[in-house]
């Protein structure tokens, strides 16, 4: 599977899905009945946030995760599935770019993330699906970030993923 994220961090004072990141990995799925099934993935996911285009000071946060989404699938109509579940993630890199290149965060964010997710999956061809999925952190990725110009309080990942799923077997 492969695709891209558009993301924001709720709590950083910047509104909008201004950060684009890549997503890639592998998945397995099984059907329980004609309409119900489950899917498990392991994937790399780049999340974060960025200042809106009209800001003079450009700043980006890049949060890189290894994630394991577990989703239930329900077939709404032929070729269209509704998905919902949970994603467990591990943050292996967090960096900030104030216009001079990425540097690691001074403060260490939470390494583990649990997010709820929901989406739609459409089978374009027999072996190719297109997917859109929304996910939101259940617990803060930063309990309290003290960077004065970046907001204070808890931060939560807010992500929309667009992906292509190629079936091998």
Per-residue tokens: 137: 């952190």
CATH at residue 139: 2.40.160.20
Instruction: Report strand pairing: 80-97 vs 36-50.
Output: unpaired
Model pLDDT for residues 31-53, shown as the tens digit of each residue: 999 999 999 999 999 999 998 88
Read off the pTM: 0.90
pLDDT-wise least confident of 4-13, 19-28, 158-167 = 4-13
Range of the domain at 84: 2-166
> Number of C-alpha atoms within 13 angstroms, CB side, residue 168?
4
Per-residue tokens: 160: 């929309």
Give the number of domains in the chain.
Answer: 1
Which whole-number Å values give the CA distances from 124 to 82, 127, 131, 151, in the listed order? 15, 8, 10, 42
């Amino acid at each position: 599977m492969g695709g891209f994220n558009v993301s924001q961090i709720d709590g950083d004072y910047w509104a909008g899905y201004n950060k684009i990141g890549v997503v890639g990995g592998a998945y397995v799925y099984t059907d329980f009945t004609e309409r119900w099934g489950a899917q498990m993935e392991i994937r790399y996911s780049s999340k974060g946030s960025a200042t809106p285009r009209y800001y003079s000071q450009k700043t980006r946060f890049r949060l890189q995760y290894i994630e394991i989404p577990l989703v239930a699938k329900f077939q709404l109509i032929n070729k269209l599935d509704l998905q919902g579940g949970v994603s467990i993630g591990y943050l292996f890199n967090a960096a900030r770019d104030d216009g001079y290149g990425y540097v690691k965060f001074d403060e260490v964010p939470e390494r583990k993330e649990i997010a709820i997710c929901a989406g739609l999956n459409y089978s374009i061809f027999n072996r190719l699906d297109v997917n859109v999925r929304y996910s939101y952190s259940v617990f803060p990725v930063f309990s309290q970030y003290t960077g004065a110009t970046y907001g204070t309080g808890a931060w939560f990942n807010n992500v929309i993923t667009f992906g292509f799923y190629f079936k091998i077997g």
